Amino acid sequence: MELEADLKVAIKKGQLILHYPPKINVATQEVMGVEALVRWYHPKLGLVPPSKFIPIAEETPLISELGEWVLRESCRQNQAWQKQGYTPMKVSVNVSPQQFKLQNMLELVQDVLQETGMAPEYLVIELTERMLMDNSPEVSSVLKGLLELGVSIAIGDFGTGYSSLAYLGKFEATFLKIDQSFVSGMLTDKRLSNIVNAIIDLAHNLGMKVIAEGVETSEQLDYLRGQGCDFAQGYFVSRPIDERAIEDEFLTV
């Protein structure tokens, strides 16, 4: 619980930072966007990974404050890059199911886009399957509203844990992300490559683009290209890096 009190302070004192794993277009190798991942520079503990504090925040209303900070900072940074003349790209922001329950995400997104001046087409909201299992009318209408605004929706960790194909029939997401557990074994395990191929076909048949997560080698990227996968992220492209490194290594004018 000490961490919870510290986290409250952290948000106020600017101890949170974002690191960005870039995503590339598999066919052209061009950067299509970055994902925003939060980290916490704790004064005593050093760099704390999100796995250590997001679950704690999710048990309290702090998840809204944290989520709001991440959304605002991601849009601010991406708009700043565009203003500096870099080729525009998308930024994806992870949103916890708890945050969706606690606040009106549609209003929040509209406010943040207006405040930062970033166009909706550059924002991707990333959800997990866990979130979509809650097919309440409220969640569906917020997601619909976001899509109508021009914001994209990505479904992450596809195929893990909470699998249900039911929601894919009801809801039109922009991107489907193949979980890294499938990608990491797909070149040595035929069952896994069959699953990867099936997810790509399924997504394309439903009008979604596919993002492979956890790509670590050029052989994996080549395989995904052969299967028509649209985008990829993972250590082969780059580990998550700070905004300066993104500017130096990935942005183009």
The site for ligand G (CB under 6 A) is made up of 37-38, 49-51, 54, 67, 70, 94-96, 180, 213-216, 234-235, 240
* Pairing between β-strand 209-212 and β-strand 231-232 as defined by DSSP bridges: parallel
Report the residue number whose CB is nearest to ligand G.
234
Distances (CA, A) of 66 to 14, 113, 252: 11, 17, 30
Q: How far is the CB of 19 from ligand G (least distance, A)?
A: 7
Q: How far is the CB of 38 from ligand G (least distance, A)?
A: 4
CB 174 within 8 A of CB 208: yes
Nearer to ligand G, 148 or 162 (CB): 162
* Pairing between β-strand 22-25 and β-strand 31-42 as defined by DSSP bridges: antiparallel
Where would I find the beta strands (DSSP E) of the chain? 16-19, 22-25, 31-42, 46-48, 90-94, 123-128, 152-158, 175-178, 209-212, 231-232
Nearer to ligand G, 47 or 87 (CB): 47
Nearer to ligand G, 38 or 168 (CB): 38
Q: How far is the CB of 1 from ligand G (least distance, A)?
A: 20
Nearer to ligand G, 17 or 106 (CB): 17
Q: How far is the CB of 198 from ligand G (least distance, A)?
A: 20
> Would you call 15 helix, strand, or coil by DSSP?
coil
